A = this chain, B = another copy of it.
Amino acid sequence: MKETAVLLIDCPDQKGLVARVSTLLFQMGANILHADQHQDHALGLFFMRVEWSLGGNGDTGDAAFDIGGFEKAFAPIAAELNMRWKLYTATRRPRVALFCSQYLHCMVDLLYRWRSGELDCEIPLIISNHTAVAPLAAYYDIPFLHTPVTADTRHTAEQLQLSLLRQHNIDLVVLARYMQILSADFVAPYPAAIINVHHSFLPAFIGARPYHAAHARGVKLIGATSHYVTAELDNGPIIEQDVARVSHRDQVEDLVDRGRDLERVVLSRAVRWHLERRILCYGNKTVVFD
């Protein structure tokens, strides 16, 4: 766990925004590690991400950063400039729940990345409508909840899932090829906090069986998309996409095979960027800071 703070800002664009923020950080002695900003000229919006170090440093004589003092000093500036902002500090790792069905390639990938330190979070909970993931959950020593879902039990299953998410203080839900459509009620309490991977290059091939649809259309590239989940199916803000070349030689099962590699990559990138507080949503789009 790196001892850093991340400040994310979006607000109407106007002169002097960077000057105000960077001057305050300078006055309080912040050792800035990364800073990035973005202006959407068409919409007149400004976005900023700053990451700085919190810990003191005996070598340089830096004291620990006074994060409480910063928050107090920054709040009136933010109010004056109409900023929406979030300040994240590394005193608490984000808590992530993984959902899956019977295909486990994304789960295997995410869990290894987590174990090897690539994903900086806690994973207190795995939920599936199948049992295939049980041995993997056991291998990683993570509690596993099996919630079978049928048309009749969907509502009950979602209620149970939601209560577990609350109980475990889950910050982020990752749908790692979870093949159930979540209700609007499920999604509502987690705005920009549920990440799904869809196995097509959205907005092409929304919905079920996208590889079949791609094969039928005769496309020459297939894709995968990670996005935040909203109430509207496969229509939330896109976080990442990637594609792979296919040819007339590839049958549907070849597309499925090829696509798994894309799904792993676009989902794991999205989760990582979310955990690193690199993503800002606005409208139905994302800013992903480098």
Q: A-side interface residues toward B, CB under 8 Å?
A: 15-16, 18-19, 22-23, 25-26, 29-42, 104-105, 108-109, 112, 116, 118, 135, 139, 201-205, 217-221, 223, 237-243, 245, 247-249, 251-252, 257, 261, 265, 283-288, 290
Determine how close the nearest CB of chain B comes to the CB of A120; give it in whole angstroms. 13
A36's nearest neighbour on chain B, judged by CB, is B36
- Which of B37, B112, B257 sits near A104, CB closer than 8 Å? B112
Determine how close the nearest CB of chain B comes to the CB of A268; give it in whole angstroms. 8
User: A109–B40 Cα gap in the complex (Å)?
Assistant: 31
Q: A247-B288, A290-B290 are in contact. List 13 more A-B contacts (CB 8 A).
A: A15-B26, A16-B22, A16-B26, A23-B23, A38-B249, A105-B112, A108-B108, A118-B257, A135-B139, A203-B204, A204-B204, A245-B245, A248-B286
B221–A243 touching, CB < 8 Å: yes
Q: Which residues of B contact A237 (CB under 8 A)?
A: 218
- Which of B19, B34, B284 sits near A19, CB closer than 8 Å? B19
User: A16–B29 Cα gap in the complex (Å)?
Assistant: 9
User: A251–B285 Cα gap in the complex (Å)?
Assistant: 13
Q: Which residues of B contact A41 (CB under 8 A)?
A: 33, 251
A204's nearest neighbour on chain B, judged by CB, is B204
User: A237–B22 Cα gap in the complex (Å)?
Assistant: 32
B261–A238 touching, CB < 8 Å: no
Q: Which residues of B contact A204 (CB under 8 A)?
A: 201-204
A221–B247 touching, CB < 8 Å: no
Q: Which residues of B contact A221 (CB under 8 A)?
A: 201, 223, 241-243
A206's nearest neighbour on chain B, judged by CB, is B204
Determine how close the nearest CB of chain B comes to the CB of A110; give it in whole angstroms. 11
B15–A23 touching, CB < 8 Å: no
User: A258–B18 Cα gap in the complex (Å)?
Assistant: 29
User: A241–B32 Cα gap in the complex (Å)?
Assistant: 31
- Which of B42, B220, B223, B248 sits near A38, CB closer than 8 Å? B248
Q: Nearest 3 pairs between A and B by C-beta?
A: A218-B285, A204-B204, A19-B22
Q: Which residues of B contact A18 (CB under 8 A)?
A: 18, 22, 26, 32, 35
* Contact (A238, B223) CB under 8 Å given A18-B35, A19-B25: no
A-B contact pairs, 22 of them (CB 8 A): A18-B18, A18-B22, A18-B26, A18-B32, A18-B35, A19-B23, A23-B23, A35-B37, A41-B251, A105-B112, A203-B217, A217-B285, A218-B237, A218-B238, A219-B238, A220-B240, A221-B241, A221-B243, A247-B290, A248-B285, A261-B265, A290-B290
